[in-house]
């Protein structure tokens, strides 16, 4: 049994959505299958938390000519964010505006407000990751994703719930408008299901996961 992820773009076709995809090296982020991005981060907490060092780190990366996108924490101060966005865009580097809430999943209205603020600050991709505290939190995130994508967003949005139960947000987020996903999360679920079936000896087969 072979699981084959189709690489060709799928039409969004979702009523009310009018997002412009972000194109990096002919990869259209915001259309078709979710894409994988590999981040570059500071080596120490000081590099990330100290505003001047944070700006300098990202400025050097943007100007080096080796990166396509830079991930900017959008709530590290408007002056800091504006400087980073201007610098990145001047270097033809796309900005992934991000926000991480490691404590909780905010209310739907707050999630939407944060994503809209990222858009106002001119991030090219809007990303938020929140901590799961209950199963209902996943529903809150997905509802916020759908509202943002159908009513406000004109660019790709990426949302995800952290922690084990949050994997469902990375598996089905695309159906609610999220442009990001984790193929590793998908592979783990598929592999786990196949292993469970084979252990129960319902039938015997070999399987492999092919990533395109």
CA–CA separation, 62 vs 58, rounded Å? 6
CB 70 within 8 A of CB 123: no
Indicate the DSSP class of residue 2: E
Backbone CA torsion sign across 126, 132, 136, 138: positive
CB 164 within 8 A of CB 131: no
Give the residue numbers annotated as catalytic, written as ranges: 100, 127
CA–CA separation, 201 vs 39, rounded Å? 41
List Cα–Cα distances, 82 to 7, 77, 121, in angstroms.
35, 9, 7
């Amino acid at each position: 049994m072979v699981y084959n992820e189709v690489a060709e773009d799928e039409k969004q076709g979702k009523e009310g959505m009018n997002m412009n995809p972000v194109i990096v090296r002919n990869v259209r982020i915001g259309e078709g299958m979710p894409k994988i991005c590999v981040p570059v981060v500071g080596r120490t907490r000081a590099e990330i938390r100290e505003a001047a060092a944070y700006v300098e780190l990202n400025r050097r990366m943007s100007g080096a000519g080796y990166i396509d996108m830079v991930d900017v924490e959008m709530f590290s101060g408007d002056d800091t964010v504006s400087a980073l966005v201007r610098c990145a865009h001047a270097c033809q580097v796309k900005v992934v505006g991000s926000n991480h809430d490691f404590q909780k999943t905010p209310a739907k209205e707050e999630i939407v407000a944060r994503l809209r603020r990222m858009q106002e600050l001119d991030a090219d991709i809007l990303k938020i990751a929140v901590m799961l505290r209950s199963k209902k939190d996943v529903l809150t995130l997905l509802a916020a994703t759908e509202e943002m994508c159908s009513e406000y967003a004109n660019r790709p949005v990426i949302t995800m719930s952290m922690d084990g139960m949050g994997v469902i947000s990375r598996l089905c987020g695309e159906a609610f408008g999220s442009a990001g996903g984790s193929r590793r999360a998908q592979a783990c679920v598929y592999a786990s299901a196949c292993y469970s079936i084979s252990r129960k000896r319902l039938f015997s087969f070999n399987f492999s996961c092919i990533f395109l």
